[in-house]
Structure 1
């Protein structure tokens, strides 16, 4: 490494030339402890410190930049540094600042002598004029202006607290005590103003019995602080349960059936903050207690709670906002997954409804088929009513064909068969004396429809066998 490069290295590390030493040919395996041990044996260096290392590409070794506690410009430094028989030796390069200042001073003195002046005369010219403003005074004024601007911005951005009176039931436009106290306690820590302004803002949000209690406190204790105001309001309107009772209640708060885990988490956190205001739990333990109760009190079949039970011991307890965000994201993911199943089910039914229009038929034939199906349904209902009202006929009906002996031996004719059983005709061709399964003729739905209509009008209110 050239001297120019070493000087640039010192400038990058903001190291003075008089306190810089560069060791070359250092093996990369040599540790800082070995180097410091070798440097400590050179008393000229004083207390040494390793600033940086870089690789010498040519020799495949390292260059080490050392910072010494002594100024080496007027000292005699050794050429090599090392531990005899153990490590080294490594060449030591000491850099000294160029003597430009000495040359400038000699030139300046020769010039002043030629002009008949001294350094005192030059010092008078370099003194600031009386019109120059003190820099410290400028900084003080600037800091004061910044403080004033900060106070004014805080006053302008202030929004009044919500009203609280302590009346039961809570009137419209007012807050319950727990919600009001939670908000006020948080803002008391955030407001960057005096305690008198904090007390004024608390009084502005009170009316009725709550304002009377604070007014009584101011009379009895004129030096009361804003936190004293909150303490007396907590005594008057807060829960009468102690911190230990609230902690037991917190331990026995469980998730209801049908309740989301995020809603259960909000209920737990509200109760946990009540315990915190009572001094029953430290701020550093709130995340741990919240997670333990969520794992213990959530429903066994809740999928999100099941995952929390499996992973809560593998990491630090998250904060309330982190846990609520994680739970809500998983709830939305499960909800979207359930919603995506409904369109799939509806799409599977859609082709069935679309297949009907593909079969193009004659409108007249479709109308007749529809009327035929209605007639069949009416016939079945009439038959069922007959069997229900006359159970004996169900037994005698199979014996009807065997009663007239002369018909069994007679020549089978469809006309005679029609006279015995007027309701029997073919549902395919409309002719009498045979069934549809025995028909060999052409289909005539118009005739079948007319026969069914005529049969329905003729039977009227059919009451079975009389």
Structure 2
């Protein structure tokens, strides 16, 4: 509904909907001065002008339409802001990849006191014969070409993070912390961009209290790294499970009836990772701890699997991949043997 209102309002005022914000949830008794003060406090770095206000009957509250008047860092636009009567919500259309590229390029140039025309002139696009480039501008151009353009290009079509807010009641598309953190760590490893760009993308995935936590940390430390942002979120929203609790949970996790040993090993791995993170198991002993728990926790049905586990226990300790390969080979051999028995009319375990 809010997005539809934004688009319809923009059409009625001949405004580009991708250059507009809709702020709603404003109490009816909130006057113009209070609205202005709230917007300035929540978006000090965002250039805008208020185009109009209206009463939104379905929400029994006011809504305001804002037009962006300059280059904007969209990560600086909050989805929610504290205001009179509670939380005011902000809706805007995420820019397309091309629009985002140009927006961020304009933003960078504005910060450096340059314009797109300056870059074109330096590159010689406005003169038949390119003029000699002053040393300072040549250095600036080199910086743009090597440090600004590549990250902008790489950011188009990148794999985005899922949403996390830290609220007890999840909103559309949001996840609880542990699955979100696991997915985030996996995706961040894929991004071949600077840490500043990683932090910007991380902020895109945060809402509500989670976004507030990082904003507070950035206020005291503007250069905070992505790793420290994730650590701060883990301290604020992560599990408070002690290292002893994590260890007990790991040691008391067994193979379920009907579950393959390979599936059991995969299910065991996040618990082992948590135990290592808590310091209950040294990183150098991870492979041995995994193998010992598999030997203890697996239902060793079948003579072939028992023989296989004994051989593994006596040989070099395999890593996770090696262990899974050996287990899958053992399972395949046992399935093949069982198929032969079924063909012969014999039933029952080996």
Task: Give the TM-score of the pair, scaled to structure 2.
Answer: 0.49
Task: Give the TM-score of the pair, scaled to structure 1.
Answer: 0.38
* Higher-RCO chain (CA-CA 8 Å, sequence separation at least 6): 2
Please say which structure displays the higher CA radius of gyration: 1
